[in-house]
Amino acid sequence: MAYKCDKCGQEATVHLTEIVQGEKHEKHLCEDCAVSEGVTIKTQVPISQILEELVLQSAAGGELARLSCDVCGLTFLEFRQQGLLGCPNDYKAFEKVLVPLLERAHEGASFHTGNIPANADEDERTQARLLRLRSQLKEAVEHEDYERAANLRDQIKELEGS
């Protein structure tokens, strides 16, 4: 039986069953709405498969296939085969394909907001702090918490000026 997306009425490909206090709730969403809802359920899909899909979906598939890292020499094809990166620089070299991959794997996120090494250089620390504030700002705006948003904007301005 084909379900229609609860949000937009297109064909639903994501089906969720939630059990809240013993009651079953079903949700049917199309791929796009599932992503915008922050719902992606194929979290155990192997990376190679996600990569394959990304390449097939991408008009720039051929371009992706030619990517490689000039530090460790890893090619995109090798990454696709083994699902492992070759060196820290790969996060730069393959950024184009990694960002959508990370978003799939991490509930839509591609920015780090956690701990920063104590010995990270000052510039790196400032950048990381700015990123964190921006992500908090985005969240505050989404939650219509304008007081917090204004406060965060001030902090960002201050940090950028320093």
Query: Rule CB under 8 A: which residues touch another protein?
Result: 16-19, 22, 39, 41, 43-44, 47, 71-74, 82-88, 91-92, 98, 101-102, 105-120, 124-125, 127-128, 131, 135
DSSP-assigned letters across all residues of 37-94: TT----TTS-HHHHHHHHHHH-TTHHHHHT-B-TTT--BHHHHHHH---SSTTHHHHT
Q: For another protein, which is the closer residue by CB, 7 or 125?
A: 125
* Of 161, 136, 132, 131, residue with least CA distance to 148: 136
14 CA to centre of own chain = 18
CA–CA separation, 128 and 111 (whole Å):
9
Q: For another protein, which is the closer residue by CB, 35 or 102?
A: 102
Q: For another protein, which is the closer residue by CB, 72 or 156?
A: 72
Q: For another protein, which is the closer residue by CB, 10 or 82?
A: 82
Q: Work out how close the CB of 2 gets to another protein at its nearest, in angstroms, rounded to a whole number.
A: 21
Q: Work out how close the CB of 31 gets to another protein at its nearest, in angstroms, rounded to a whole number.
A: 16
